[in-house]
């Protein structure tokens, strides 16, 4: 008979080791978190956390009178409340795997869980930051002529990020009195957008201006007074295909000032239901679908506004740029633009259930598990301290998140 030791708990040292290992793997993915104000999880205060932002004092231009102390000024503090939420995931570890490869299996599970936790929590912050109201659009540049863009749906593959728009964003932050982060503003950029920008003469690679220990997580280079941090988790807008078989739809018959369009492609009942509320681009204009009906050659989409279009004109997904191409976010940040919760002290928890811990629910001690649970929120604090630049890329048809 085999001698199987049934441990229901980990030692204190092992718990610390795995928790630290989980946090280390999570931190590698927390690119969007690293430039926010860090706040601990509120203990005993329910689900609400308060971030504070301080307004600058006005200039003191009145000369001091000899021997007279001027009136003091009050700090103007604005409280921004946010509700924390919990996120988590776990994996099961079968007994036979655990018996033969205990340490390696737990290490691998913790590494994978840490990666999942980091990407999850980073996305929570990313979505908050990309809801900001301070937006710039890359102009469309063709044959050396730049055409301004005023909406996401108008961006084309020729609207790439440029040195000029980065410098404009930095100038706006400086004019808005946004302070720098370690002496520079910081931009979070997608690798596909960085590809276009790194080809400019003004680009300076990170190793040429800073030692490795002084670089931000993911830092790749700088232009002017803006340091760039690369992340494949940078926000992308690109609507999913309109049907399972077709990315776009085709207008069957001309419409003049109506709201209902018949399309040539087959649309199922479930696809018609999913279209309601989605955006589409027709003739370069973005519309919202109010409703849709199924059919093969008879399917229709009804828009919230009137449209005029010709037969054979294309109906593209409208969540991205022109013709449904991907649009990428580049966030240019100053100090104190936003706040986030910390991983420490309850922010991220490593949870291990050993064989036998489930009692009668696992009578043969066949299952163990490892998981993570995190309490998280993020909040924009000063809109003028951050700018979102939307642009396209050479990789116009690519999509990753």
User: For the stretch 371-391, what's the b/e string if a residue is b when 16 or more beta carbons lie within 10 angstroms of its beta carbon?
Assistant: bbbbbbbbbbbbebbbbbbbb
- Whole-number pLDDT of residue 229: 97
Looking from the CA of 179 toward its CB, the CA atoms found within 13 Å total 10
For tokens 């044959």, the residue is: 143
Q: Name the CATH topology of 142-236+324-334+383-391.
A: hypothetical protein PF0899 fold (3.30.2320)
pTM as predicted:
0.86
Backbone angles phi, psi at 312, to 5 degrees: 75, 0
CATH number of the 12-55+77-131+338-378 domain: 3.30.2400
- Whole-number pLDDT of residue 21: 61
Q: Three-class SS string for the chain? A: CCCCCCCCCCCHHHHHHHHHHHHHHHHCCCCCCCCCEEECCCCCCCCEEEEEEECCCCCCCCCCCCCCCCCCCCCCEEEEEEECEEEEEEEEEEHHHHHHCHHHHHHHHHHHHHHHHHHHHHHHHHHHHCCCCCEEECCEEECCEEECCCCHHHCCCCCECCHHHHHHHHHHHHHCCCCCECCEEEEEECHHHHHHHCCCCCCEEHHHCCCHHHCCCCEEEEECCEEEEECCCCCEECCCCCCCCCCCEEECCCEEEEEEEEECCEECHHHHHHHCCCEEEECCEEEEEEEEECEECCCEEEEEEEEEECCCCEEEECCCCHHHCCEEEEEEECCCCEEEECCCCCCEEEEEECCCCCHHHCCCCCEEEEEEEEEECEEECCHHHEEEEEEECCCCCCCCC
- Whole-number pLDDT of residue 2: 28
Q: Which two tokens stand for residue 171?
A: 């100038």
- pLDDT by residue for the chain (401 residues), tens only, comes to 223 333 445 556 556 655 666 666 677 778 999 999 988 876 666 688 888 777 777 888 888 888 888 888 877 778 888 888 999 998 887 765 554 454 567 778 888 898 999 999 999 999 999 999 999 999 999 998 999 999 999 999 999 999 999 999 999 999 999 999 999 999 999 999 999 999 999 999 998 988 888 899 999 999 999 999 999 999 999 989 999 999 999 999 999 999 999 999 999 999 999 999 999 999 989 999 999 999 999 999 999 999 999 999 999 999 999 999 999 999 999 999 999 988 776 688 888 887 777 776 777 777 778 889 988 999 999 999 999 999 999 986 665 55
- Whole-number pLDDT of residue 42: 67
Q: Residue 184 and residue 6: Cα distance in Å, rounded?
A: 55
Among candidate residues 317, 303, 299, 315, the one with its CA nearest the CA of residue 240: 317
Q: Which two tokens stand for residue 72?
A: 């003091």
- Whole-number pLDDT of residue 33: 92
Q: Which two tokens stand for residue 378?
A: 């993020």
Among candidate residues 166, 162, 200, 160, the one with its CA nearest the CA of residue 184: 166
- Whole-number pLDDT of residue 365: 75
- Whole-number pLDDT of residue 4: 30
- Whole-number pLDDT of residue 201: 92
Q: Residue 381 and residue 186: Cα distance in Å, rounded?
A: 17
- Whole-number pLDDT of residue 5: 34
Among candidate residues 387, 312, 392, the one with its CA nearest the CA of residue 130: 387
């Amino acid at each position: 008979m085999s001698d199987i030791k049934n441990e229901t708990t980990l030692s204190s040292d092992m718990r610390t080791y795995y928790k630290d290992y989980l946090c280390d793997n999570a931190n590698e993915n927390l690119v969007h978190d690293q430039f926010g104000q860090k706040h601990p999880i509120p203990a005993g205060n329910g689900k609400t956390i308060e971030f504070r932002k301080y307004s600058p004092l006005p200039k003191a231009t009145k000369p001091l009178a000899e021997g007279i102390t001027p009136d003091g000024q009050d700090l103007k503090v604005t409280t921004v409340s946010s509700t924390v939420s919990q996120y988590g995931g776990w994996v099961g570890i079968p007994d036979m795997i655990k018996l033969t490869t205990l340490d390696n299996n737990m290490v691998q599970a913790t590494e994978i869980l840490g990666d999942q936790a980091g990407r999850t929590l980073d996305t929570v912050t990313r979505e908050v930051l990309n809801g900001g109201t301070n937006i710039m659009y890359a102009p469309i540049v063709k044959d050396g002529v730049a055409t301004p863009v005023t909406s996401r749906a108008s961006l084309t593959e020729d609207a790439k990020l440029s040195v000029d728009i980065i410098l404009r964003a930095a100038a706006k932050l400086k004019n808005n009195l946004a302070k720098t982060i370690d002496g520079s503003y910081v931009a979070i950029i997608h690798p596909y957008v960085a590809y276009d920008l790194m080809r400019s003469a003004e680009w300076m690679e990170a190793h040429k201006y800073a030692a490795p220990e002084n670089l931000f997580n993911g830092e790749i280079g700088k232009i002017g007074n803006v340091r760039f941090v690369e992340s494949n988790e940078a926000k992308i807008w690109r609507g999913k295909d309109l049907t399972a078989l077709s990315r776009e739809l085709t207008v069957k018959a001309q419409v003049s000032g109506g709201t209902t369009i018949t399309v040539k492609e087959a649309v199922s009942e479930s696809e018609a239901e999913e279209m309601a509320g989605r955006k589409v681009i027709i003739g370069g204009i973005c519309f919202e679908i109010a409703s849709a009906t199924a059919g093969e050659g008879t399917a229709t989409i009804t828009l919230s506004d009137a449209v005029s279009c010709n037969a054979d004109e294309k109906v593209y997904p409208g969540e991205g740029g022109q013709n449904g191409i991907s649009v990428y976010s580049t966030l240019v940040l100053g100090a104190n633009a936003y706040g986030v919760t910390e991983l420490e002290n309850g922010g991220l928890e490593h949870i291990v259930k050993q064989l036998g811990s489930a009692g009668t629910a696992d009578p043969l001690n066949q299952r163990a598990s490892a998981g993570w649970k995190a309490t998280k929120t993020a909040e924009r604090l000063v809109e003028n301290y951050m700018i979102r630049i939307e642009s396209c890329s050479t990789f116009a048809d690519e999509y990753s998140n």
